């Protein structure tokens, strides 16, 4: 279908650019390095760490992993983070979530130096996003969404953007990024009354709820741009939060699931890492 955005093409182009930036840094003796801490038994997390590992390999980025078993303690994780914060060869630190239940997640995440916070979840970086600070590190999924919107060549200024979902990792930061592009942003969530009255006015609709097929054809504006962030597993099939089959017949552009926003996230993480590494050059 014509309205389905070819996200794979967008990601391939971004990866080429990141790879060339890595090569430029290598020429001046800088070797971008990511440190990953995995402290849980979750199969999905192991898959995510594997995806990050293989993209690092593909782009020429160095990667070190700390795989911790359930005997690990918050103190031990904090010690590793402290070491990595002070290791000048490490540019980014990523703690794969969720953590073992006995670990103090907020304390661990806040211990990561905000300068090495590749995920962009540190309170300082979330604050920088709000004040448009020049050294902001943008959370990866919202960054990937902006790549998709940029690739469409649409002038966002003055458009009605509706974000459904108010999570710290997607909803809140994407609302800020759209605001920065001068969209008129409305945020909806689980307590919103009459969701359709908002979604049907959206020129840009971003949906990140985890509710399969929440958005149906009657809820969207004709020729809208729909970004479906949802990743929901139903009977071994992955579906988004939007009824793509029907909605794609009415809108101008829509991201597919799978193969949509999800595939931009790891590339956006690599982009954050290389941007952090390039600051080493400025310090010289």
* Cis check: omega of the bond before 165, within 30 degrees of 0: no
Q: Which of 3, 21, 96, 141 binds ligand NAD (CB under 6 A)?
A: 141
Q: Which of 35, 214, 227, 274 binds ligand NAD (CB under 6 A)?
A: 214
Q: Is 96 a catalytic residue?
A: yes
The helix (run of H) or strand (run of E) holding residue 187 is: strand 184-188
Question: Which long-range contacts does 122-126 make (Cβ < 8 Å, 24+ apart)?
Answer: 126/168, 126/172, 126/173
**188 interacts with ligand NAD by CB under 6 A:** yes
Interface positions, 227-266, toward ligand NAD (CB under 6 A): 229-232, 261-262, 265
Q: Is 52 a catalytic residue?
A: yes
**169 interacts with ligand NAD by CB under 6 A:** yes
CB of 142 to ligand NAD, least distance (A): 9
| C-alpha angle 137-52-205 in degrees, rounded to nearest 5 | 55
Q: Which stretch binds ligand NAD (CB under 6 A): 20-28, 113-121, 153-161, 185-193?
A: 185-193
CB of 135 to ligand NAD, least distance (A): 24
Q: Is 76 a catalytic residue?
A: no
Largest Cα–Cα separation, the chain: 57
Q: Which of 14, 33, 96, 128 is catalytic?
A: 96
Q: Are 32 and 22 in contact (CB under 8 A)?
A: yes
Q: Which of 91, 119, 203, 271 is catalytic?
A: 119
**211 interacts with ligand NAD by CB under 6 A:** yes
Distances (CA, A) of 254 to 6, 11, 21, 206: 9, 16, 30, 10
Residue with smaller CB distance to ligand NAD, 182 or 190:
190
Give the C-alpha separation, 184 to 168, whole Å.
20
DSSP letter assigned to residue 42 = -
Q: Which of 14, 52, 181, 221 is catalytic?
A: 52
Residue 194 sits at φ, ψ, to 5 deg, of 55, 60
For ligand NAD, the binding residues (CB under 6 A) are 141, 164-167, 169-171, 188-190, 192, 195, 208-211, 214, 229-232, 261-262, 265
Which residues are marked as active site?
Answer: 52, 96, 119
């Amino acid at each position: 279908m014509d309205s389905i955005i070819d996200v794979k093409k967008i990601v391939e182009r971004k990866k080429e650019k990141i790879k060339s930036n890595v090569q430029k840094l290598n020429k001046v003796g800088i070797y971008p390095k990511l440190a990953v801490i995995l402290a849980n038994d979750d199969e999905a997390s192991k898959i995510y760490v594997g995806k990050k590992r293989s993209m690092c390999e593909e782009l020429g980025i160095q990667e070190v992993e700390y795989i911790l078993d359930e005997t690990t303690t918050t103190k031990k994780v904090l010690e590793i983070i402290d070491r990595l914060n002070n290791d000048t060869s490490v540019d980014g630190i990523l703690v794969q979530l969720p953590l073992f239940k006995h670990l103090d997640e907020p304390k661990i995440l806040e211990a990561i130096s905000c300068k090495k916070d590749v995920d962009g979840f540190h309170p300082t970086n979330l604050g920088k996003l709000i004040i448009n600070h020049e050294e902001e590190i943008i959370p990866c999924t919202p960054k990937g969404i902006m790549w998709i919107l940029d690739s469409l060549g649409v002038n966002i200024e003055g458009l009605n953007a509706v974000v459904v979902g108010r999570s710290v990792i997607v909803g809140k930061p994407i609302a800020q990024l759209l605001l920065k592009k001068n969209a008129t942003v409305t945020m909806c969530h689980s307590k919103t009354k009459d969701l359709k009255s908002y979604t049907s006015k959206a020129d840009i609709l971003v949906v990140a709820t985890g509710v399969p097929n929440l958005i149906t054809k009657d809820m969207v504006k004709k020729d809208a741009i729909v970004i479906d962030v949802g990743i929901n597993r139903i009977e071994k099939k992955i579906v988004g939060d939007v009824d793509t089959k029907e909605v794609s017949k009415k809108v101008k552009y829509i991201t597919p699931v799978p193969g949509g926003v999800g595939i931009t996230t790891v590339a956006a993480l690599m982009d954050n890492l290389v941007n952090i590494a390039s600051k080493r050059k400025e310090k010289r």
